[in-house]
């Protein structure tokens, strides 16, 4: 098992999760985070930290595409271990549907 970040993170990018991760397996894109599935130790401490409920176990239905999504971008983006402010408008976009199609950016974040 591993944990993944899904599209609920897009355009919000809360980073509460990165501070509790014992193995630093979060990677930062311009407007979301992902988890490297091969680095995640399945401890689950990140899941309750996410205000947007964007972190889910891969054992839930239809998660295979998110495992591959997280793998792809974790290999392209820099690691993030320090909490940062959420994106502007995060509260308004929290829970919005269709964020992958509307807002996703492949651009890397700053990391750090």
Which CATH number characterizes residue 27's domain?
3.30.70.20
Which structure tokens are listed for 53? 């409920």
- Residue 21 falls in which region: left (phi positive, over 0), alpha (psi -120 to 50) or beta: beta
Residue 65 lies in a domain: yes
pLDDT score for 1: 86
Close Cβ partners of 66 (under 8 Å, ≥ 6 residues apart):
4, 5, 6, 56, 58
The domain tally of the chain equals: 1
- What pLDDT is attached to residue 86? 97
Q: Going residue by residue through the chain, which has 112 residues, state the pLDDT in tens, using 9 for 90 and above.
A: 899 999 999 999 999 999 999 999 999 999 999 999 999 999 999 999 999 999 999 999 999 999 999 999 999 999 999 999 999 999 999 999 999 999 999 999 999 9
Domain that holds residue 68: 3-80
For the beta carbon of residue 45, count every other beta carbon within 10 angstroms. 13
CA angle 30–15–110, rounded 5-degree value? 35
**Residues belonging to the chain:** 112
This prediction has a pTM of: 0.96
- What confidence score (pLDDT) does residue 102 get? 97
* Per-residue tokens: 104: 């996703």
């Amino acid at each position: 098992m591993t944990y993944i970040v899904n599209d609920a993170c897009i355009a919000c990018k809360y980073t509460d999760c990165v501070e509790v991760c014992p193995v630093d397996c979060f990677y930062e894109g311009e407007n979301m985070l992902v988890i490297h599935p091969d680095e995640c130790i399945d401890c689950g401490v990140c899941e309750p930290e996410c205000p947007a409920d964007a972190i889910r176990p891969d054992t839930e239905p239809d998660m295979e595409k998110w495992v591959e999504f997280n793998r792809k971008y974790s290999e392209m983006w820099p690691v993030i271990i320090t909490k940062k402010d959420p994106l502007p408008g995060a509260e308004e976009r929290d829970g919005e549907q269709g964020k992958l199609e509307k807002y996703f950016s492949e651009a890397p974040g700053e990391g750090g």
